[in-house]
Amino acid sequence: MPAAVNYIVYAIPVFFLLIGIELLIDKSKKTGYYRLNDALSNINAGITEQVTGAFLKAFVVGVYAWIFDHYKVTTIPPTLLNWTILFIGIDFFYYWFHRLAHEINVLWGGHVVHHQSEEYNLSVALRQGAFQKFGSFLFYLPLAIIGFDPVMFIIISQFQTLYQFWIHTKTIHLLPKPIEYIFNTPSHHRVHHGRNPKYIDKNHGGTLIIWDRMFGTFQKEDEEVVYGITKPLKTWNPLRAQLDFWKDLFADLSKTKKLTDKLKLLFFPPGWFPQELGGPQAAPEITPDIAVKYNTVIPVKLNYYVLVQFVIILGLASLFLFTYESYDLTTGLIFMALILFSITSIGMILEANRKAYLIEIGRLLFTVVFYVLMLQQNILHDPNYFGLFGLVVFALGSTLIFISMRKTFAK
């Protein structure tokens, strides 16, 4: 595995600082761009992608490195010009991956998670699909064959990804025309996230919008955008966000008799179905006046409970991302399981799901057991044990507080 700094992990504090600033603007102007349940759902999807990706990046990056080692035609030196060429090359291949991820159903399954939110704010940028990397990395392998070093590739890929964070906002309308013509901007990307029929499958560029202009997929923002996907997710559960598409796809495959139709379900555009399943389905007309966003309401005190728990979970996820390489495989998997269990429980609480009460009690007890094990093994490298002991006390206190809210889930 080539060694390279994970700039995306180091950028996490900046992400949340900018989200905080946008949230303050939203509250001061009363624009309603944020809802707590939607924003937490977005961030939880990102946590899912990051913590599972910690175990998968060795495969994805390892394939690129193996191709580079065995099949490169030359070795590109790391000059300023070559770094620039690599950036353009990565953005070019990203365009084609991104475009085909909207046009090929099996690739859409990894990318759909990013489009599920019915809001549009900076938290949406963090909403990512855990399975997307299995399709996307294939598109960049020509760069390995050409001879771009894996470390160069990793670094530029991260910066190409980081650029796309700030364009997920409605607080910026239009930028100067030269910028709007060349670069991907909030206006262009709002179009990309729209489910208005005229906006679907448009503006696939990452950093540069010129690819869309060149290849006929550009669309100007000229009507109010309705965000989300044509079949709304209708859950705050982050695991369902990642898996529901695949569950539906496999169900459709099992109902389809012809092998050719099964292959078409996999490789034709989303919305294609064989006649036995109703035939191809066009995107329904939608306008802001008739669009109804998925929403749930829970008691205010439960919202506060969720928010406090989420902050702790976010801290644990950050700790995991910075330190997972120091754990043995079993400990790392248990730590990942705790994080996924925790954010799933949070999602179910936001839905006031009747099963959420027992799930959360189980989650809190699992958390206590995990902290105690870490305390015994000193795996979190806390020489004073004070912080870890405090987390044990907090988890026990949270259990008592949550038990007092049991009537909320009995309704």
Between 3-12, 207-216, 229-238, 313-322, the lowest mean confidence (pLDDT) is in 3-12
- The three state secondary structure string of 97-155 is HHHHHHHCHHHHHHHHHHHCCCCCCHHHHCCCCCCCHHHHHHHHHHHHHHCCCHHHHHH
What is the overall mean pLDDT for the chain?
92
- % of the chain exceeding 70 in pLDDT: 96
How many degrees, rounded to 5, is the angle at CA 144 between CA 150 and CA 130? 70
Please spell the DSSP secondary structure of 302-359, one letter per residue.
Answer: HHHHHHHHHHHHHHHHHHHHHHGGGS-HHHHHHHHHHHHHHHHHHHHHHTT-TTHHHH
Contact status, residue 32 vs residue 21, Cβ threshold 8 Å: no
Report the pLDDT value the prediction gives residue 385, as an integer from 0 to 100.
60
Report the pLDDT value the prediction gives residue 406, as an integer from 0 to 100.
87
Model confidence at 31: pLDDT above 70: yes
CA-CA distance, 223 to 209, in Å (whole number)? 19
Span 150-205, pLDDT tens digits: 999 999 999 999 999 999 999 999 999 999 999 999 999 999 999 999 999 999 99
Contact status, residue 310 vs residue 302, Cβ threshold 8 Å: no
How many degrees, rounded to 5, is the angle at CA 61 between CA 57 and CA 67? 155
Model confidence at 282: pLDDT above 90: no
Report the pLDDT value the prediction gives residue 409, as an integer from 0 to 100.
80
Report the pLDDT value the prediction gives residue 333, as an integer from 0 to 100.
92
Report the pLDDT value the prediction gives residue 411, as an integer from 0 to 100.
61
pLDDT level of residue 2 (50, 70, 90 thresholds): low
Report the pLDDT value the prediction gives residue 382, as an integer from 0 to 100.
55
Report the pLDDT value the prediction gives residue 9, as an integer from 0 to 100.
84
Report the pLDDT value the prediction gives residue 33, as an integer from 0 to 100.
95
Closest CA to 82 of 139, 138, 155, 11: 155
pLDDT level of residue 56 (50, 70, 90 thresholds): confident
Give the CA distances from residue 126 to residues 8, 46, 280, 292, 331, in Å, rounded to whole numbers and listed in that order. Answer: 11, 5, 32, 23, 26
CA-CA distance, 131 to 235, in Å (whole number)? 19
pLDDT level of residue 308 (50, 70, 90 thresholds): very high
CA-CA distance, 51 to 376, in Å (whole number)? 24
Q: In the predicted model, what is the mean pLDDT of residues 250-254?
A: 97
pLDDT level of residue 323 (50, 70, 90 thresholds): confident
Between 62-66, 199-203, 306-310, the lowest mean confidence (pLDDT) is in 62-66
Model confidence at 129: pLDDT above 90: yes
Report the pLDDT value the prediction gives residue 410, as an integer from 0 to 100.
67
Model confidence at 54: pLDDT above 80: yes
Contact status, residue 149 vs residue 61, Cβ threshold 8 Å: no
| Rg over CA atoms, the chain | 22
Span 257-269, pLDDT tens digits: 999 999 999 999 9
pLDDT level of residue 354 (50, 70, 90 thresholds): confident
Beta partners for residue 208, in sequence order: 183
Report the pLDDT value the prediction gives residue 147, as an integer from 0 to 100.
97
Span 216-230, pLDDT tens digits: 999 999 999 999 999
Model confidence at 116: pLDDT above 60: yes
Please spell the DSSP secondary structure of 5-23, one letter per residue.
Answer: --HHHHTHHHHHHHHHHHH
Contact status, residue 104 vs residue 267, Cβ threshold 8 Å: yes
CA-CA distance, 5 to 339, in Å (whole number)? 23
CA-CA distance, 37 to 351, in Å (whole number)? 9
Between 52-66, 79-93, 290-304, the lowest mean confidence (pLDDT) is in 52-66
Report the pLDDT value the prediction gives residue 374, as an integer from 0 to 100.
79
369: burial class by Cβ within 10 Å (0-12, 13-18, 19+)? middle
Q: In the predicted model, what is the mean pLDDT of residues 386-401?
A: 84
Model confidence at 384: pLDDT above 80: no
Please spell the DSSP secondary structure of 201-265, one letter per residue.
Answer: T----SSBSHHHHHHT------S---BS-SS------HHHHHHHHHHHHHHHHHH---HHHHHHH
Q: In the predicted model, what is the mean pLDDT of residues 140-157?
A: 96
